Amino acid sequence: MPFELIDEPLPTLREALAEHERQLLLHVLSLHDTQAEAAKALGIGRSTLQRKLKALGLTQRRRKPTP
């Protein structure tokens, strides 16, 4: 499959990896009820997940408890 040439500048590797990590974290967080569960699914500690979220400018809203 040949590559298409585009007129837009490509992201740097660092930018591309950060965006991929961001999308992965958001996806995994959407699948789990807690950050601890999401971190376990990713194979990392909860504090590592929180550090990554902070570094990428992501914050997870706390869910309101259901009555």
Output the pLDDT for position 6: 74
pLDDT in tens, 17-65: 999 999 999 999 999 999 999 999 999 999 999 999 999 888 755 555 5
CA proximity to 39, closest of 27, 26, 24, 28: 28
Q: Place 1 in a pLDDT band, splitting at 50, 70 and 90.
A: low
16: its two tokens: 């591309």
Model pTM?
0.73
Mean pLDDT, residues 6-13 taken together: 86
Q: Which of 63, 61, 56 is nearest to 21 (CA)?
A: 56
Torsion angle defined by CA atoms of residues 24, 28, 31 and 34, in that order, rounded to the nearest 10 degrees: -150
Q: What is the pLDDT of residue 7?
A: 79
More confident residue, 17 or 4: 17
Domain segments of the chain: what residues? 15-55
